[in-house]
Amino acid sequence: MPTAIVRMPSETSLTTSHRDPRALAPNASSVSGHCYRVHMTSVERPPRRTPHDDEGPERRLLERVPGVLFQLDVEPDGTMRFPYVTANAAANYGIDTGALASGEHGALTNVHPDDRAALLGAIKAAIDTLENVDHTFRLSYDRGERWLRVVARPEARDDGGVAFYGVTTDVTAATERQGELEREITLRSALVALTNDLLKRDLDERFYQHVIERAVELVPGADAGSIVVHEPDDHFRFTAAIGFDLAGLQGARIPARQMTIGAGERPRIVDYTGAHAIGDHQVSEILATYGRLDEIRSTLAVPVVVAGVPAAYLNLDSFRARDAFGDRALGIAEALAVQVAVAMQRLELERRLVHVATHDELTGLPNRLLYQQRLEQAIAGARRHARRLALLMLDLDGFKPVNDRFGHAAGDAVLRQVAQRLRAALRAEDTVARIGGDEFVVLIEHPVTRAHALRVADKLDRSLRAPYDALGSEVELRASIGVALFPDDADAPDRLLKVADDAMFAVKDGRAAQARQAGRA
The answer on pLDDT for 464 being more than 70 is yes
Q: For residue 151, give the CATH number of its domain.
A: 3.30.450.20
Whether 38 and 64 share a structural domain:
no
Whether 64 and 38 share a structural domain:
no
The answer to whether residue 178 is domain-embedded is: no
Report how far residue 416's alpha carbon sits from residue 470's, in angstroms, rounded to the nearest whole number. Answer: 11
Whether 437 and 316 share a structural domain:
no
The answer to whether residue 176 is domain-embedded is: no
Q: What is the mean pLDDT of residues 489-511?
A: 91
Whether 216 and 163 share a structural domain:
no
Whether 340 and 448 share a structural domain:
no
Whether 109 and 18 share a structural domain:
no
Whether 211 and 99 share a structural domain:
no
Lowest mean pLDDT of 160-164, 263-267, 377-381, 452-456, name the range.
Answer: 263-267
The answer to whether residue 412 is domain-embedded is: yes
pLDDT of the residue at 60: 64
- Which domain covers residue 25, as residue numbers? 1-46
pLDDT of the residue at 90: 81
Whether 416 and 485 share a structural domain:
yes
What type of residue sits at position 463?
A: S
Whether 71 and 41 share a structural domain:
no
Q: In 233-367, which ranges are E strands?
A: 235-242, 253-255, 268-270, 298-306, 309-318
The answer to whether residue 38 is domain-embedded is: yes
Q: For residue 431, give the CATH number of its domain.
A: 3.30.70.270
- Residue 98 main-chain phi, psi, to 5 deg: -65, -45
CA angle, 337 as apex, 315 and 290 as ends, to 5°? 20
Lowest mean pLDDT of 95-104, 199-208, 422-431, name the range.
Answer: 95-104
The answer on pLDDT for 402 being more than 80 is yes
pLDDT bin (cut points 50, 70, 90) of residue 57 is low
The answer to whether residue 179 is domain-embedded is: no
DSSP 30: P
Whether 35 and 65 share a structural domain:
no
The answer to whether the peptide bond before residue 47 is cis (omega within 30 degrees of 0) is no
pLDDT tens digit sequence for 282-330: 888 888 889 898 899 999 988 998 888 888 999 999 999 888 898 888 8
pTM of the shown model: 0.52
Whether 400 and 308 share a structural domain:
no
The answer to whether residue 362 is domain-embedded is: no
What is the number of domains present in the chain? 4
The answer to whether residue 63 is domain-embedded is: yes
CA angle, 137 as apex, 132 and 142 as ends, to 5°? 135
The answer to whether residue 359 is domain-embedded is: no
pLDDT of the residue at 26: 43
Whether 144 and 277 share a structural domain:
no
What distances in angstroms separate CA 264 from CA 257, 268, 304, 369, one per listed residue? 11, 9, 10, 42
Q: What is the mean pLDDT of residues 471-495?
A: 94
Report how far residue 134's alpha carbon sits from residue 391's, in angstroms, rounded to the nearest whole number. Answer: 80
Q: For residue 225, give the CATH number of its domain.
A: 3.30.450.40
370 within 8 A of 434, measured Cβ to Cβ: no
